[in-house]
């Protein structure tokens, strides 16, 4: 009896051990199968080939070696909409120039009447702002006559009259960028001239972007073949604005690049060509001769030169007037783009350029963003200086 009991107990333990082994075996099989499945999925995902990226399309005209670069098509990314900050006003941007005048204006307003110190402060303020000796003398002479005639007796009235005189001197010129619609195979050409470092290439890029946003097709011509950095910078702007660009070999003939750009635009019925040009110092005669040649060549082909824009750095002050004289003689400048006005206390050069040369300031640069290149508004400009 005892032996029989021991036998049954032993069999029970054997059955339990067998059952445990079966369960463990099943678990091991399940784990192994899941690992194989995970490796299979990972392999498929890991080695899936990516679609090839098409290279940018380029064409090389055999005659001159210039290259037409097309904007590369980019898949639009789904991004969260960004809240754009309010654009700064011109008054805010002209803080540097206004601060140069603020001390003199405060001193004038602090006096009870108009005396010799008043005229000294006004003259100093205008010269400090680089309005120029001739223009300053003319402005003050007009005010002196009105003071002598007892038309002006209070400092505030004197400053108000000065602001009105400055506005009057800037009224009248045509400040529109001229675009002539017509034959689609005869593109408008806007040439940009100016010395190195004034922001000429950046200005072209911003205008290209603005014109494209307005719905107008644009082609860029990298005519500054003497400076490789200028061509690369303009190519970057062309990519940002998604417009084609024609570029030549470093040290090549700028006229040939501009001519090929115009012919390319004509063949594709692109209505506007923005042409960069070389920007060595304006005192170099050969540069002026080269720019004259570029203009002549631009008008020989299918294009129509409707603007020649001189880009001047506002921080150069009266030196900008000398630049304007030289470039106007060589290229028949139709308008001025005054850059870096936000960082200069010498924006008074506007008056000297328009009064002495009769060239209108059409655009002003007051910041780094595309929207900071703005049409020049004389009333807004003067009001910002007088903090009106």
Q: Average the pLDDT over each of 79-93, 137-151, 231-245, 369-383 and give the range with the smallest value.
A: 79-93
Kindly tell me the burial class for residue 70, based on how many C-beta atoms sit within 10 Å of its own C-beta (0-12, 13-18, 19 or more).
Answer: middle
Report pLDDT for 56: 47
pTM comes to 0.77
Question: What is the pLDDT, as a whole number, of residue 178?
Answer: 95
Beta bridge partners of 374: 364
- The rounded distance, in Å, linking the Cα atoms of 89 and 318 is 26
Q: Is the dihedral of CA 320, 326, 327, 332 positive or negative?
A: positive
Query: What pLDDT sits at residue 35?
Result: 65
- The CA dihedral of 353, 357, 358, 362, to the nearest 10 degrees, is -40
Strand runs labelled E in 211-303? 218-222, 245-247, 272-275
Q: What is the pLDDT of residues 200-248, one digit of tens each?
A: 999 999 999 999 999 999 999 999 988 888 889 999 999 999 999 999 8
The pLDDT tens digits of the residues spanning 261-304 come to: 999 999 999 999 999 998 875 566 688 888 999 999 999 889 99
Residues of the chain with pLDDT > 70, as a percent, come to 79
Looking at residue 346, its pLDDT comes to: 77
Q: Which two tokens stand for residue 288?
A: 């002026």
Please write the tens of the pLDDT for every residue from 319-373: 778 888 888 888 899 999 999 888 777 788 898 888 888 899 999 998 888 888 9
Alpha carbons 102 and 74: distance in angstroms, whole number: 50
**Other beta carbons within 10 Å of 298:** 24
Q: Would you give the DSSP letter of residue 281?
A: -
| Paired strand residues for 218 | 272
Structural element, H or E, at residue 337 = strand 335-339
Instruction: Please give the pLDDT value at position 97.
Output: 79
User: Does residue 83 register a pLDDT over 80?
Assistant: no
Distance (Å, whole) CA 140 – CA 125:
12
Give burial (CB, 10 Å; 0-12/13-18/19+) of 142. Answer: middle
Least confident of 143-147, 182-186, 333-337: 182-186
Burial of 6 (0-12, 13-18, 19+ CB in 10 A): exposed
Residue 242 gets which letter from DSSP?
Answer: T
Contact 287, 293 (CB under 8 A): no
Distance from C-alpha of 246 to C-alpha of 192, rounded to nearest angstrom: 15
pLDDT tier at 50, thresholds 50, 70, 90: very low
In a 3-state reduction of DSSP, which class is residue 192? Answer: strand
Q: Is residue 2 packed enough to be buried (19+ CB in 10 Å), middle (13-18) or exposed (0-12)?
A: exposed
Per-residue pLDDT, 324:
84
- pLDDT band at residue 51 under the 50/70/90 scheme: very low
Assign 23 a pLDDT band (cuts: 50, 70, 90): low
φ, ψ of residue 187 to 5 degrees: the values are -70, 150
Strands 335-339 and 361-365: parallel
Residue 49 has pLDDT above 70, yes or no: no
At residue 170, the pLDDT reads 92
Whether 64 shows a pLDDT value over 80: the answer reads no
Residue 267: predicted pLDDT: 95
Question: 83 by DSSP, 3-state: which?
Answer: coil
Cα–Cα distance for residue pair 229/287, rounded to 1 Å: 18
- Lowest average pLDDT, out of 10-14, 39-43, 135-139, goes to 39-43
Comparing 42 with 118, the larger pLDDT belongs to 118
Helix (H, G, I), strand (E, B) or coil at 371: helix
State how far Cα 363 lies from the chain centre.
12
Contacts of 217 (CB under 8 A, 6+ apart): 243, 270, 271, 272
pLDDT above 90 (res 197) = no
Q: Strands 335-339, 304-313: parallel, antiparallel or unpaired by DSSP?
A: parallel
Average of pLDDT values for 81-96? 65
């Amino acid at each position: 009896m005892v032996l029989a009991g021991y036998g049954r107990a032993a069999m029970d333990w054997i059955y339990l051990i067998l059952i445990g082994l079966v369960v463990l075996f099943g678990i091991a099989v399940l784990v192994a199968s899941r690992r194989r499945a995970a490796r299979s999925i990972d392999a498929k995902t890991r080695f899936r080939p990516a679609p090839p990226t098409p290279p940018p399309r380029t064409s090389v005209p055999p005659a001159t070696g210039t290259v037409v670069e097309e904007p590369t098509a980019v898949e639009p990314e789904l991004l969260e909409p960004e809240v754009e900050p309010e654009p700064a006003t011109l008054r805010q941007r002209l803080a540097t120039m206004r601060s140069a005048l603020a001390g003199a204006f405060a001193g004038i307003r602090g006096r009870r009447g108009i005396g010799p110190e008043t005229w000294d402060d006004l003259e100093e303020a205008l010269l400090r702002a680089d309005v120029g000796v001739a223009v300053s003398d003319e402005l003050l002479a007009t005010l002196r006559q009105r003071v002598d005639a007892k038309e002006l007796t209070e400092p505030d009235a004197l400053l108000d009259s000065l602001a009105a005189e400055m506005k009057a001197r800037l009224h009248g010129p045509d400040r529109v960028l001229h675009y002539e619609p017509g034959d689609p195979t005869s593109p408008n050409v806007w040439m940009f001239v100016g010395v190195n470092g004034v922001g000429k290439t950046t200005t072209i890029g911003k205008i290209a972007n603005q014109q494209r946003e307005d719905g107008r097709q644009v082609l860029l011509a990298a005519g500054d073949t003497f400076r490789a950095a200028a061509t690369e910078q303009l190519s970057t702007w062309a990519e940002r604005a998604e417009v084609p660009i024609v570029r030549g070999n470093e040290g090549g003939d700028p006229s040939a690049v501009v001519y090929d750009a115009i012919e390319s635009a004509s063949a594709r019925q692109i209505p506007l060509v923005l042409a960069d040009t070389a920007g060595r110092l304006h005192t170099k005669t050969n540069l002026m001769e080269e720019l004259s040649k570029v203009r002549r060549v631009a008008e020989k082909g299918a294009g129509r030169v409707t603007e020649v824009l001189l880009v001047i750095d506002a921080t150069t002050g009266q030196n900008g007037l000398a630049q304007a004289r030289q470039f106007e003689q060589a290229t028949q400048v139709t308008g001025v783009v005054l850059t870096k006005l936000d960082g200069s206390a010498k924006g008074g050069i506007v008056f000297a350029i328009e009064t002495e040369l009769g060239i209108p300031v059409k655009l002003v640069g007051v910041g780094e963003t595309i929207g900071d290149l703005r049409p020049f508004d004389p009333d807004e400009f003067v009001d910002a200086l007088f903090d009106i």
